[in-house]
Chain A
Amino acid sequence: GEDVEQSLFLSVREGDSSVINCTYTDSSSTYLYWYKQEPGAGLQLLTYIFSNMDMKQDQRLTVLLNKKDKHLSLRIADTQTGDSAIYFCAESPNSGYALNFGKGTSLLVTP
């Protein structure tokens, strides 16, 4: 199938904002998701956005959705070293019974 695309690496300084971008494939996806995976750990749901929304803010996290371009972004304000992890974008195409993940963006936060 088609791929959900993400850049593989991002490095930011502590206190700066991080922006992780994603291009998804299926315009029928009802929800779009961001998951976080810390080293050796499982997938933690960070946030999600309903497809009829343009933006969602949740504390330090802001999700922007551009349906026309099928572009999703995650902004983390005041990035901390504990935010270092892999961030996965995911769409829920077709029946919605499976998530189609991007390859993940490794975020490194340096002091």
Chain B
Amino acid sequence: DTAVSQTPKYLVTQMGNDKSIKCEQNLGHDTMYWYKQDSKKFLKIMFSYNNKELIINETVPNRFSPKSPDKAHLNLHINSLELGDSAVYFCASSPEQLTQYFGPGTRLTVL
């Protein structure tokens, strides 16, 4: 009955690889987000989608590409992974521009 779920929870990979993180919400929300939390716990918005349309695309390398196949899913694909991509990635969802509910996070480690 998890409201916002992410897979995988942990992801360890080599530099240069391509990987995806999946996010699903069963709350019926229209808006979904990806945030990055760095090693100092600082959280920063990466992307925001509303009804499958990209609303916010912060200064994120174009190696990061979000994909929203439907309103309940927002996946994050990362090409050519770099050491600096190591972080915890959080998915969130909200009804329009209201309170955001976060997933459990995916800890990405690039070796």
A: residues with CB less than 8 A from B are 30-31, 33, 35, 37, 41-45, 48, 86, 88, 92, 95-101, 103-104
Contact = CB atoms under 8 A, between A and B. Distances in A.
B41 A42 contact: no
A98 B42 contact: no
Interface string B35-67: 100001111110010100001101000000000
B31 interface: yes
Interface stretch (B11-19, B74-82, B102-110): B102-110
Dominant secondary structure of chain B at its interface with chain A: strand
Given A95-B56, A96-B98, A104-B42, 12 more contacts: A33-B99, A33-B100, A37-B41, A41-B105, A42-B90, A42-B103, A42-B104, A48-B99, A97-B50, A97-B55, A97-B56, A99-B45
Contact of A31 (B35, B48, B98): B98
